[in-house]
């Protein structure tokens, strides 16, 4: 069961799942600029552009085979993407990255 201050996030590439876990927030590079989602965000589907996906989580574990793709920035972790798609629904965000 999710903490009341968190939401579920999955980041998936065509080859592998890069991240799956509970997060406090996720900030993404949308086509109209960067935007952030917190728990209980309204349902949304968005196209993502080149930039950083920033993840804030109480504890952070990523796929050990792809941990070099994430960079720690203060209390957040960042993943550079070239493009992608985001769907947020029922307190679960799924990011498909290229």
Domain ranges of the chain: 7-93
| pLDDT of 66 higher than 70 | no
Q: Which helix (H) or strand (E) is 64 found in, with range? A: none
Q: Is the pLDDT of residue 60 over 90?
A: no
Q: How far apart, in whole angstroms, are the C-alpha atoms of residue 72 and residue 45?
A: 27
Q: What is the mean pLDDT of residues 53-82?
A: 80
> Is the Cβ–Cβ distance between 45 and 85 less than 8 Å?
yes
**Is 7-93 in CATH node 3.20.20.540?**
no
The residue ranking higher by pLDDT, 67 or 40, is 40
pLDDT in tens, 18-48: 988 899 999 999 999 999 999 999 999 999 9
Indicate whether this model's pTM tops 0.85. Answer: yes
CB 60 within 8 A of CB 67: no
Q: How many helices (DSSP H) and strands (DSSP E) are in the chain? A: 0, 10
């Amino acid at each position: 069961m999710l903490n009341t201050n968190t939401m579920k996030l999955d980041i998936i590439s065509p080859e592998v799942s890069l991240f799956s876990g509970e997060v406090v927030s996720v900030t993404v590079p949308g086509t109209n600029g960067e935007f952030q989602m917190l728990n209980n965000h309204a349902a949304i589907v968005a196209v993502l552009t080149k930039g950083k996906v920033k993840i804030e989580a109480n504890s952070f574990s990523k796929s050990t085979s792809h941990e070099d793709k994430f960079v720690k920035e203060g209390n957040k972790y960042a993943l550079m993407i070239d493009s992608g798609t985001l769907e947020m629904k029922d307190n679960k965000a799924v990011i498909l990255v290229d």
